[in-house]
Amino acid sequence: MNERESIISLREQLHRHNYNYYVLNAPTISDKEFDEMMHRLQDLEEKYPDMSDPNSPTQRVGSDLNDEFRTVPHRRPMLSLANTYNLEEVREFYQRVSDGLHGQPFQVCAELKYDGLSISLHYRDGKLVQALTRGDGVQGDDVTANVRTIRSIPLVLDSSREDIPEEFEIRGEVLMPWQSFERLNDERGQAGEDLFANPRNAASGTLKSKDPKVVSQRGLDAYLYYLLGEDIPSTGHYENMESARSWGFQVSKDMRLCNTLEELWEYISYWDVHRKELPVATDGIVIKVNSLAQQKALGMTAKSPRWAIAYKFQAEQACTVLREVTFQVGRTGVVTPVANMDSVLLSGTMVHRATLHNADVLEALDLHIGDHVLVEKGGEIIPKIVGKETLPQPLHKGGECIQPTNEEQMSVAEVGQALWEQEQHSPVHHTPSPCGRVGEGSSPVRFIQRCPVCGTPLVRGEEEASHYCPNDLHCAPQIIGRLEHFVSRKAMNISQVGPELIQQYYRNGMLHDVSDFYRITHDKKVADSVARSTEVPFERVLFALGIRFVGEIAAKTLARKFKDIDSLMSATMEQLLETDGIGNVIAESIINYFASEENRALIERLRQAGLQFTLSEEQLSTHSTTLQGQSIVISGVFAHHSRDEYKRIIEQHGGKNVGSISGKTSFILAGENMGPSKLEKAEKLGVRIVSEDEFLAMIGQE
Ligand code: IVH
């Protein structure tokens, strides 16, 4: 097989392994073997740029950077479904369908209602050609580049299947599984970024990201639930979805055909409980008339089909009284309003605090002290106030209100979970100060103008949801937050120093900033634990500094790219932006951090204390796997490194240096004056010749 054929074959194999892994959950090769094949394909594609293909498995990592999404009209409008929270209305729907079909027998397909964002995928000749968001239902955003990075969406379908239409559309839901969602929020919390309130917001924020590389790392998933087109295989929805599954799509195995209303009730009551065990968020059940002919006969209203309905599960809610609103200042200075309420039982736990997120949410809720408020714990982890109870005597059922949520209430409380962030990631709890307390009275609770701790006027960045206190160097909760972050396990791991000791040292005037840890001598245990932290590698030191938006992952990439603190400190905006996964927000934050004299002086003190501000020899020696599996011949004289250095560099990037040229040679690294016999042999065997500069570019050392 020649190399061009290898490209085709590797693509086919990788598509299949990808499907086995992401859709079937049953890989047949090891991750390592998969990675090796992927690298080989990447190398070959680089070598044969004329064979590039946007549907190649290599494109899953996200390649092109698009500035803006193109708006594209949908070929068929993307309607939404009529919603109900009420089983009685489901019964009425069933009856309406039966009447509409003049008593004909019919089946309904019951399926889970996935809580993500809907997507329309277009395939032609077995290949993904376009992916659109729902938009306003008439036109959507072209998010193809981002969707290509979602591993469970097939880019190319199994060509041996004969029932795949030449052209079709398939719709479904893009989701962020709970696990990815928690990991993402963890990282964001550590970086001091706003958290996503729920997986749906996270999925939607991610899919609309301008950088497919970011999308590729966020672990999105997709379930498909609607096949459309001229030549689709069956006359029933369920059967079509079974076909789609066999073509390589991820279709839920939890769809059921029901012949009677009783079967439907069984399905609903089963999933009302068991949906909590699923890896992704669901918010109800969708019920569809199965026969496409019957669907057609029933038709549509202006907004939604008459042949389907969505039954939404009720989020668990409770009713209680608002007593006080306090304002908390987090490690990064973000100020979060928090509702303090009478304790109430909600989904099995006593709840007395709820986040009010930010000024906009607070204002929209129009709260007054003493109001009866509805607290909800839906898909989210911490409770939130979704609205006010205006009835004098709210309906209670075992301590819980039984009013359903409505769309408006949901949207009020959709923003970040700042309270959770503070509780989980930065255990600084500012005790409510007089300015943070809102007195009883009839005027609505308002957001504060000044920091409740240090009195500095709060600022709010353009397009930012949160207000924050800009006095980062002298505002107590921010200082304490940074100290706590510094010693935490994933940062410097100074295990002998916990939040209480930090509070105590801070109050005694022993700790002003993180460099003071290295001057502690009076307690041997603490001093030893601090001393051990000088071994912590550079990337974790960088994370430990607590630069706004620089989480664990960003710190790692920055450390690897810039290799030492001095290069990072002098990096320009452009250089920072060239780094994988570093966008404007992070880059700007880094520039601002190092622009401060105080921060530069702090780095100097830490350097004196012996912290690692350079990548270690070991880290420097395993750079990448760029040259994995490649046999490279070195020939000629070089300008930038000696031949021995090039041998070492090749090994550091996973390649192998070989002495003589053969058919197996991947390429020749050629300097000046390459011997004529070698040149001739290379030409004869068609081995690529790579110049010194090209090679350095290849390994990212331009
Ligand atoms: S069918 C015409 N099936 O719920 C029928 N939708 O308003 C189109 N959804 O926008 C939708 N799970 O985003 C269908 N199994 C499922 C679904 C589902 C989630 C979403 C979809 C749609 C909304 C309904």
Q: Of 240, 223, 224, 225, give the one whose Cα is nearest residue 292.
A: 240
The yes-or-no verdict on residue 276 having pLDDT over 60 is: yes
In a domain, 65, yes or no: no
Q: Is this prediction's pTM over 0.85?
A: no
Beta strands in 395-454 (DSSP E): 396-397, 400-401
Tell me the two tokens of residue 166: 């030449």
* Least confident interval from 366-375, 379-388, 428-437: 428-437
In this structure, are 291 and 320 located in the same domain? no
Residue 286 Cβ inside 6 Å of ligand 1? The answer reads: yes
Residue 271 Cβ inside 6 Å of ligand 1? The answer reads: no
pLDDT band at 427 (very low <50, low <70, confident <90, very high): very low
Strands across the sheet containing 631-635: 656-658, 631-635, 667-670, 688-691
User: Residue whose CA is closest, atom 12 of ligand 1?
Assistant: 113
In this prediction, residues 679-683 reach a mean pLDDT of 83
Residue 307 Cβ inside 6 Å of ligand 1? The answer reads: no
CATH value at residue 321? 2.40.50.140
In a domain, 618, yes or no: no
Looking at 312, 345, 363, the residue that finishes a domain is: 312
In this structure, are 80 and 198 located in the same domain? yes
Beta strands in 267-424 (DSSP E): 282-289, 308-312, 316-329, 334-346, 349-355, 372-377, 384-388, 396-397, 400-401
In this structure, are 304 and 325 located in the same domain? no
The yes-or-no verdict on residue 62 having pLDDT over 70 is: no
Q: What was the pLDDT predicted at 359?
A: 93
Between CA 203 and CA 53 the distance in angstroms is 26
Q: Of 176, 188, 173, give the one whose Cα is nearest residue 134.
A: 173
Region for 440 from its dihedrals, namely left if φ exceeds 0, alpha if ψ lies in -120 to 50, beta otherwise: beta
Between CA 105 and CA 119 the distance in angstroms is 32
Counting ligand 1 atoms within 8 A of each CB, the residue from 173, 224, 254, 282 with the most, and so the one to mutate, is 173
The answer to whether residues 252 and 223 touch, using CB atoms and an 8 Å cutoff, is yes
Share of the chain above pLDDT 90, in %: 54
| Crossing angle between the packed helical segments 178-190 and 199-207, to the nearest 10 degrees | 80
CATH value at residue 87? 3.30.470.30
Question: Beta 316-329 vs 372-377: how paired, if at all?
Answer: antiparallel
> Would you give the distance in Å from CA 569 to the centre of its chain?
28
The yes-or-no verdict on residue 361 having pLDDT over 80 is: yes
The residues, ordered by sequence, that sit 6+ positions from 33 with a Cβ below 8 Å of its Cβ are none
Q: What was the pLDDT predicted at 431?
A: 30
Q: Tens of pLDDT along 304-359?
A: 899 999 999 877 788 999 999 999 998 889 999 999 999 988 866 788 999 898 99
In this structure, are 215 and 327 located in the same domain? no
Looking at 295, 312, 329, the residue that finishes a domain is: 312
Share of the chain above pLDDT 70, in %: 89
Q: What was the pLDDT predicted at 61?
A: 64
Residue 111 Cβ inside 6 Å of ligand 1? The answer reads: yes
The residues, ordered by sequence, that sit 6+ positions from 126 with a Cβ below 8 Å of its Cβ are 156, 157, 158, 159, 164
The yes-or-no verdict on residue 405 having pLDDT over 70 is: no
In a domain, 693, yes or no: yes
In this prediction, residues 523-546 reach a mean pLDDT of 95
User: Residue whose CA is closest, atom 4 of ligand 1?
Assistant: 113
Q: What was the pLDDT predicted at 395?
A: 35
In this structure, are 219 and 366 located in the same domain? no
Higher pLDDT, 432 or 457: 457
Concatenating the DSSP letter of every residue in 136-174 gives: TSSEEEB-HHHHTT-TTS-SB--TT-S---SEEEEEEEE
Residue 237 Cβ inside 6 Å of ligand 1? The answer reads: no
First to last CA, the chain: 34
Question: Beta 83-84 vs 308-312: how paired, if at all?
Answer: parallel
Q: What was the pLDDT predicted at 393?
A: 38
Catalytic residue among 113, 288, 312, 377: 113
Q: What was the pLDDT predicted at 688?
A: 87
Please provide the average confidence, as pLDDT, over all residues in the chain: 85
Q: Of 247, 73, 304, 281, give the one whose Cα is nearest residue 174.
A: 281
In this prediction, residues 481-494 reach a mean pLDDT of 93
pLDDT band at 386 (very low <50, low <70, confident <90, very high): confident
In this prediction, residues 493-521 reach a mean pLDDT of 94
Bridge-partner residues for 74, per DSSP? none
The yes-or-no verdict on residue 203 having pLDDT over 50 is: yes
In this structure, are 152 and 294 located in the same domain? yes
Tell me the two tokens of residue 50: 């004329």
In this structure, are 96 and 125 located in the same domain? yes
Determine the distance separating the centroid of ligand 1 and the alpha carbon of 113, expressed in angstroms: 6
Residue 173 Cβ inside 6 Å of ligand 1? The answer reads: yes
In a domain, 456, yes or no: no
Between CA 598 and CA 616 the distance in angstroms is 27
The residues, ordered by sequence, that sit 6+ positions from 497 with a Cβ below 8 Å of its Cβ are 487, 517, 526, 529, 530
The residues, ordered by sequence, that sit 6+ positions from 504 with a Cβ below 8 Å of its Cβ are none
Looking at 34, 59, 84, the residue that finishes a domain is: 59
pLDDT band at 68 (very low <50, low <70, confident <90, very high): low
The yes-or-no verdict on residue 92 having pLDDT over 60 is: yes
In this structure, are 354 and 327 located in the same domain? yes
pLDDT band at 299 (very low <50, low <70, confident <90, very high): very high
Between CA 316 and CA 411 the distance in angstroms is 16
Residue 201 Cβ inside 6 Å of ligand 1? The answer reads: no
Q: What was the pLDDT predicted at 391?
A: 52
Number of domains observed in the structure of the chain: 5
Q: What was the pLDDT predicted at 622?
A: 64
Q: What was the pLDDT predicted at 345?
A: 83
User: Residue whose CA is closest, atom 22 of ligand 1?
Assistant: 80
Residue 287 Cβ inside 6 Å of ligand 1? The answer reads: no
pLDDT band at 242 (very low <50, low <70, confident <90, very high): very high
Place of tokens 């690692």: 612
pLDDT band at 655 (very low <50, low <70, confident <90, very high): confident
Q: Of 645, 685, 679, 643, give the one whose Cα is nearest residue 666.
A: 685
Q: What was the pLDDT predicted at 315?
A: 76
Determine the distance separating the centroid of ligand 1 and the alpha carbon of 228, expressed in angstroms: 14
Q: What was the pLDDT predicted at 432?
A: 33
In this prediction, residues 664-671 reach a mean pLDDT of 90
In this structure, are 210 and 127 located in the same domain? yes
The yes-or-no verdict on residue 417 having pLDDT over 50 is: no
In this prediction, residues 295-300 reach a mean pLDDT of 95
| Crossing angle between the packed helical segments 597-608 and 584-595, to the nearest 10 degrees | 80
In this structure, are 357 and 497 located in the same domain? no
In this structure, are 156 and 292 located in the same domain? yes
Between CA 315 and CA 317 the distance in angstroms is 6
Q: Tens of pLDDT along 510-532?
A: 999 999 999 999 999 999 999 99
Concatenating the DSSP letter of every residue in 246-292 gives: HHT--B-TT-EEESSHHHHHHHHHHHHHHGGGSSS-EEEEEEEESBH
In this structure, are 320 and 308 located in the same domain? no
User: Residue whose CA is closest, atom 15 of ligand 1?
Assistant: 113
CATH value at residue 500? 1.10.150.20
Between CA 101 and CA 94 the distance in angstroms is 11
Per the structure, the complete domain to which residue 647 belongs is given by: 624-698
The answer to whether residues 380 and 198 touch, using CB atoms and an 8 Å cutoff, is yes
113 classed as catalytic: yes
CATH value at residue 672? 3.40.50.10190
Counting from 1 in the atom list of ligand 1, the atom nearest the Cα of 226 is 1
In a domain, 66, yes or no: no
- Secondary structure (3-state) at 458: coil
Q: Tens of pLDDT along 545-598?
A: 999 889 888 898 899 899 999 999 999 999 999 887 788 889 999 999 999 999
Determine the distance separating the centroid of ligand 1 and the alpha carbon of 379, expressed in angstroms: 18
Between CA 36 and CA 264 the distance in angstroms is 48
The dihedral through the CA atoms of 334, 335, 336, 341 has a sign that is positive
Number of residues written out for the chain:
702
| Crossing angle between the packed helical segments 476-487 and 499-507, to the nearest 10 degrees | 140
Between CA 428 and CA 424 the distance in angstroms is 10
247-249-250 Cα angle (round to 5): 140
> Would you give the distance in Å from CA 551 to the centre of its chain?
13
Determine the distance separating the centroid of ligand 1 and the alpha carbon of 273, expressed in angstroms: 20
Between CA 74 and CA 139 the distance in angstroms is 5
In a domain, 405, yes or no: no
Q: How many helices (H) and strands (E) does the chain have?
A: 26, 23
In a domain, 85, yes or no: yes
In a domain, 463, yes or no: no
In this prediction, residues 679-696 reach a mean pLDDT of 86
CATH value at residue 33? 1.10.287.610
Between CA 156 and CA 349 the distance in angstroms is 48
